[in-house]
Amino acid sequence: MIEWKIKGLYKANAETIYNEIMSIGETIRPSDVVELARDENTALHNLFTWDDSVAAERYREHEAGCILRNIVIVNKDKTEDDKDKVVVVRAIMSTNERTKEYTTVQRIVTNKDSYTRLLAAALAELTAFKKKYETLSGDLEVVFDAIDQIAS
């Protein structure tokens, strides 16, 4: 059964969309999906913004999100054996994926509710990672065991 990962995000039947996308061939590029969606007779067509001024603004917002997600704090410390240790942490993180809201990591870790939500999101991502790669369980068993320990 084909379904949307996030229910209600798209107003189209996931299986119909999947079948349309599969008609592209073995290798699928986003540009191929857009090209297929240009056909107004496809269900895929209605999932795109065809008004260029609106689409351009949404793309700029997407670019802004990429900028926000790629600013990092770099801490350089010395280890006990006097070797350089570099720790890279995102400076700005999402506080709400659906509303596309962000704040600084410092604000998140100093606010108990925000920090609790961040930990819950991290656990959800770890669980999703495990689900995505569970067919490789033999090679990732140690990682999966660690995820299970954290989750319990």
- 61 vs 83: CA distance, rounded Å: 41
> What pLDDT score does 117 carry?
85
Structure tokens at 25: 């061939």
Partners of residue 75 on adjacent β-strands: 87
pLDDT digits (tens, 9 = 90+) for 27-63: 999 999 999 999 999 999 999 999 999 999 999 999 9
Read off the pTM: 0.65
For position 119, what pLDDT does the model report?
A: 87
**Per-residue pLDDT at 18:** 97
Give me the pLDDT at residue 141, please. Answer: 86
What is the pLDDT at residue 94?
A: 83
Summarised one tens digit per residue, pLDDT across range 1-19 is 999 988 888 999 999 999 9
pLDDT in tens, 59-118: 999 999 888 988 988 988 877 777 888 888 888 988 777 777 888 888 888 988 888 888
d(C-alpha 88, C-alpha 75), whole Å:
6
Predicted local confidence at residue 137, as pLDDT: 66
17 Cβ contact partners less than 8 Å away, ≥ 6 residues apart: 10, 43, 44, 47
- Mean residue pLDDT of the chain comes to 89
Q: What is the pLDDT of residue 13?
A: 95
